[in-house]
Amino acid sequence: MTRVDFYLLNDRKSGNREQFSCRLAEKAFRLGHRIFLHTDQTDTARRLDEMLWTFRDISFVPHALAENSGDSERAPVLLGSGQEPEGEFDLLINLDHEVPVFFSRFERVAELVGPDEDSRAKARERYRFYRDRGYPMETHEL
């Protein structure tokens, strides 16, 4: 069964959702996982594509955009919006404010929650969705 982790970003030290998603993707990649970063808009996925090249001077996170479908089979980190990824992935990092319909195909889901009240309210809805269906969950205050 899919495990869901909520990461509550509380201050500047933890960064915004996009910055934290890059750090989390890097950590999971280094542990040998394949990651799908799901966003709410194509523009956000493209911004993350750029960020993964620049968020840290000493890191390299091989990745591709799902819209460039030829790269999706090889990339350990794939970025997309709206569509289910092709291939096998272990971790879904969800930057959408909705639960993706395909979430249960992943071993783990990381829900990133910003400090603003709108982000918290939408995260509470997602939390109830997972809880009401019996998914194991953990919350991490950052």
At residue 54 the predicted structure's pLDDT band, cuts being 50, 70 and 90, is confident
Tell me the per-residue pLDDT of 11-44, one tens digit each, with 9 for 90 and over. Answer: 765 568 999 999 999 999 999 999 999 999 999 9
| Mean per-residue pLDDT of the chain | 91
CATH of 3-141, picked from 3.20.10.10, 3.40.50.10110, 3.30.70.3270, 3.40.50.300, is: 3.40.50.10110
Q: 3-class DSSP state for residue 37? A: strand
What Rg value do the Cα atoms of the chain yield, rounded?
14
Q: What percent of the chain clears pLDDT 90, i.e. is strictly above it?
A: 78
Gap between the Cα atoms of 8 and 132, Å rounded: 20
Does pTM top 0.85 for this prediction?
yes
**Segment (H or E) for 87:** none
- Identify whether the C-beta of residue 33 lies closer than 8 Å to the C-beta of residue 43: no
**Segment (H or E) for 63:** strand 63-65
The pLDDT assigned to 58 comes to 80
The pLDDT assigned to 14 comes to 54
- Identify whether the C-beta of residue 38 lies closer than 8 Å to the C-beta of residue 102: no
